[in-house]
Structure 1
């Protein structure tokens, strides 16, 4: 091969310019079986192209005669050049990916949950058992009548409707803040007509009528290099989740209020029954004492004391009926409709009181409280606002373009030659704004500090609510046991006092005092009984119970709804 001579036929002429250099040129143009013909008739420019050490894949002046050489002789070079072209392609691809890599950056601070300024565990030691906060309200409140009232309240209560409307508003704001992340496309139709004066040298002013109509598709997109738009969207998302937790807090509070109203109704029912029974007993006593007075065996003082005791019981009944009516009106306001509750005994079956609480109740159970979760969501939103405020210091890059038709008359709008288009990239770098951007950043940081303090205050308030409910539940149980013993003692005292009076061994004042104390003790026992159940309801609400299985917050990559 090294000693073989190669000849090139350029427009029918023989050229031995390659001489004995087959390694550089013979690979491209071996003409042992085929000639290389060119349309330039073998000019110097053509020979310089064909005989170059690094020729292009295709001759600058191609002709049909070269197709065979291109297919057979140039195929190895084509593969080699393709390999060499890969590295510039990779470099171009890397350069093209720089904007997308920049778009992934964010200036928002990393979220760190503030340390909870509360003890690690509650001081009260309670028996082990399932967590009360993980039980749905239908399983917790077992009375069918109470469940019906709660269902009606969830459907009709105006506070729930207001909270739900706020959730819908926040969801819409989230959608609004997420829309600028995507290109905006609009159909635009315009028409204008006017007259203007043109002054030409030597011709004076000339009036010219201007008419123009256009129809086009307009597109615009702000490239979110620095994460400003994404941080605004994230802030709106966390605000939406905070309003959702606020709605859950309203619902939890509503369930507790309805339950307490129902328990008060039961308490008033039992206290009214006690008052009515006491009134009947005192009426009988007054009738007996009056008969004694009439026959001369009793004193007028005893009769007036019996009348006073009866009047006190009647006043107590009237007050109870008043309070019962007020409570029923409040319950009707919560439920959203008139309330009719069948009379019945006040029993612990109204709530699932037999459920025990974990030993010491670790304070991380507070993370289930909706107000604590909402405060943390607002802290996340404040961090996102800081990222948006920081990104505002960097250039704003946007692309705007349009394509359509334009004409001076409406009937010629879609004729040939009326096409029009525009493309306008814009970059805006803030230079001077009198401290507006710095002020926005300072405001965002101050709002973050406020959100941190609000979160810590909410945690402290939640911890106090739970601690108070635990103390009440434990102490009320002791008070009920003591009051039961006192009621038994007062009942025996009243019996003995009545027996002494009947035997003439004491005045009626002793009976009066014993019956009054017994009535007060029985009323107190009913109040404590209701308060004990209410303390369980308060603990249930303080731990955020009532609504389990809530949706988890979407991650940062979730698309706007």
Structure 2
């Protein structure tokens, strides 16, 4: 039904203005609702020092660009390339952007919503009477008073999830960087082992030449000749497998760099070009603020706290305020005349009465989820401490193994040289030469493998210590979890 606004409405406009002012005050008071209480992370028994005594007093940590300490410009270039082009890292960045958008969306619930409406109609009588035109338009404003802090808790949850995604991206970046460095070192080690294997073939062929000369002179048997030829073939057979391992490692490195293996190759240098850096692990308690995965677990706990607050607030009534201001007229041209203005404010309260226990079960679910994340946080901290201690133990063990293997290598090389000299003089048989040759080959392979393991143990320690990452803004939050 269309009608014109009666004259008394013009005199009631001050009352309507007062109602709109009351709506604004209610909105401001709603915005002042309390923020959700976020509990600090649970305490974890952190040791005062690492297990290895000689590293307990060190207070230094890996720097941010720790891979540069290996002294390889090529490695530095590959890491920079991987941090820019790695597909998993790009996916993690996209997840951060999604979380940022979700946090902005959640923040909208703290603000009022406004919408404009407009409607016009024309009535034409069929028999008699003149046509009439009517229209109304206005502004609708609605707001949910966040009396119980539900909306603020939702925003806090979204912001904590955003932080968790940021920390997760740092974890992915650390994993990708460590993978690039470790795989690059593996490629160089394989090239060293290929070079050593080719040296073994050359030695075996040299001995074969001696055996053939001895055979022509009647000093060696056909059996000796067959044995040495077999030894040469055995040494050669090891090379194709090592070359295949090198190709596979290069393909793995290309994937980490976001490239196709067919268009990628590494320089020809070996591990001799790599510097073995020293690592100081610092004090264990600082690990809580230097590992992005631990910080991610803390952020997830904060999000869980906020989700519990949301589920709890859902059990209480919700208060909604709505306001409208517009105009009605039977003549379009006089739509905005003052006597036609209309304003109204309304409030509504909605409280759950019976929902079959759904809201209470949702609260129980949020609490149970929080309890799960508490245990996951503790497990993450314990695993981080264990990883550092394990890496330190590996470094110590590998250093001792390399020292002993170096002594063994010197003795094996001397034994092989003496056996070859004595075989030429006829004082030793071919089996002695073959045994010393095999022992020398095994020790040289072991030395190469131990060298790679020692370098990769250093990479593991860098990774376990957080790879030089440090959340400067969260030192206080991390300190609250210390004992």
TM-score of the two chains, using structure 1 as the length reference = 0.73
| Alignment CA distance shift 1:520-1:392 (3 Å) | same
2:37 counterpart of 1:115? no
Cα pair 1:189 1:214 within 8 Å, conserved: yes
2:347 counterpart of 1:419? no
- Partner in structure 2 of residue 354 of structure 1: 278
Give ranges in structure 1 of 5+ residues lacking alignment: 1-92, 196-208, 556-561
2:110 counterpart of 1:188? no
Residues in 2 aligned to 1:554 and 1:460: alpha-carbon distance in whole angstroms: 20
Cα pair 1:261 1:327 within 8 Å, conserved: yes
- Partner in structure 2 of residue 547 of structure 1: 469
Deviations 1:184-238 (Å, cap 9, x if unpaired)?
A: 222334467999xxxxxxxxxxxxx998654322222112111110111001111
Cα pair 1:252 1:546 within 8 Å, conserved: no
SS at match of 2:271: coil
2:371 counterpart of 1:449? yes
2:446 counterpart of 1:524? yes
Cα pair 1:398 1:426 within 8 Å, conserved: yes
Residue 313 of structure 2, aligned match among 361, 366, 391: 391
| Alignment CA distance shift 1:481-1:309 (3 Å) | same
Residue 228 of structure 2, aligned match among 279, 301, 306: 306
Largest Rg, 1 or 2 = 1
Residue 297 of structure 2, aligned match among 375, 378, 390: 375
Residues in 2 aligned to 1:194 and 1:459: alpha-carbon distance in whole angstroms: 75
- Partner in structure 2 of residue 559 of structure 1: none
Residues in 2 aligned to 1:273 and 1:407: alpha-carbon distance in whole angstroms: 95
2:65 counterpart of 1:136? yes
- Partner in structure 2 of residue 55 of structure 1: none
Residues in 1 aligned to 2:271 and 2:464: alpha-carbon distance in whole angstroms: 23
Matches within 5 A, 1:277-316: 277-316=199-238
Q: Which of 1 and 2 has higher RCO (CA within 8 Å, sep 6+)?
A: 2
Q: CA deviation at 1:142?
A: 3.6
Matches within 5 A, 1:473-512: 473-512=395-434
Matches within 5 A, 1:53-72: none
2:77 counterpart of 1:152? no
Which sits farther off after the overlay, 238-247 or 136-145?
Answer: 136-145
Which sits farther off after the overlay, 484-493 or 279-288?
Answer: 279-288
Residues in 1 aligned to 2:389 and 2:244: alpha-carbon distance in whole angstroms: 33
- Partner in structure 1 of residue 266 of structure 2: 341
- Partner in structure 2 of residue 88 of structure 1: none
TM-score of the two chains, using structure 2 as the length reference = 0.84
| Alignment CA distance shift 1:378-1:292 (3 Å) | same
2:458 counterpart of 1:536? yes
- Partner in structure 2 of residue 125 of structure 1: 53
Residues in 1 aligned to 2:382 and 2:150: alpha-carbon distance in whole angstroms: 34
Cα pair 2:100 2:162 within 8 Å, conserved: yes
SS at match of 1:458: helix
| Alignment CA distance shift 1:373-1:465 (3 Å) | same
SS at match of 1:187: strand
Residues in 1 aligned to 2:30 and 2:410: alpha-carbon distance in whole angstroms: 80
| Alignment CA distance shift 1:212-1:530 (3 Å) | farther
CA RMSD of aligned residues (A): 3.0
Between Structure 1 and Structure 2, the one with more helix by share is 2
Q: CA deviation at 1:460?
A: 1.7
Q: CA deviation at 1:403?
A: 2.2
Cα pair 2:325 2:342 within 8 Å, conserved: yes
- Partner in structure 2 of residue 48 of structure 1: none
Residues in 2 aligned to 1:468 and 1:181: alpha-carbon distance in whole angstroms: 48
Residues in 1 aligned to 2:132 and 2:185: alpha-carbon distance in whole angstroms: 81
| Alignment CA distance shift 1:410-1:490 (3 Å) | farther
Residues in 1 aligned to 2:384 and 2:30: alpha-carbon distance in whole angstroms: 43
